[in-house]
């Protein structure tokens, strides 16, 4: 969990980090973070590691709260070939692999540089 904070603090595209929740116990580790990016968009991060498994969500939205991309593993698209991993691109659902915070930031940085 602390590695995520370190990666965000070193990122060139993150201008502000707000830790909304941090749980670091033997049975569960969980973190929720809101970041502001250099183009004024926001990235919301949620990761939980427990005996029940690992859950994640990386939600990127515009400054006007419009969804740009969200990667997550909520088990609600069983027809997706990469179930439970998937990606929301606007209103569309696409296949995805389990992503890391580094991959998410790299993808977002490429989009920001192309703007």
Closest CA to 77 of 104, 60, 52, 95: 95
The distance of Cα 84 from the centroid of its chain, to the nearest Å, equals 15
Who wins on pLDDT, 87 or 115? 87
Mean pLDDT of the chain: 96
Residues facing residue 92 across a β-bridge: 89
Which pLDDT does position 108 carry in this prediction? 98
Q: How confident is the model at residue 1 (pLDDT cuts 50, 70, 90)?
A: confident
Token pair 């439970």: residue = 84
Closest CA to 45 of 26, 24, 61, 31: 31
Distance set, CA 59 to CA 24, 70, 71 (Å)? 22, 4, 7
- pLDDT one-digit tens code per residue, 40-76: 999 999 999 999 999 999 999 999 999 999 999 999 9
Q: Report the predicted TM-score, pTM, of the whole model to 2 decimal places.
A: 0.94
């Amino acid at each position: 969990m602390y590695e995520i904070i370190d990666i965000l603090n070193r990122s060139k595209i993150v201008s502000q980090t707000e830790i909304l929740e941090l749980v670091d116990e033997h049975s569960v580790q969980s973190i929720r973070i809101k970041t502001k990016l250099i183009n004024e968009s926001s990235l919301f991060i949620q990761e939980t590691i427990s005996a029940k498994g690992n859950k994640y969500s990386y939600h990127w939205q515009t400054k006007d709260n419009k969804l740009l991309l969200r990667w997550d593993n909520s088990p609600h698209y069983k027809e997706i070939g990469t179930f439970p991993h998937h990606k929301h691109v606007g209103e569309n659902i696409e296949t995805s692999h389990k992503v890391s915070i580094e991959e998410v930031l790299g993808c977002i940085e490429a989009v920001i540089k192309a703007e």
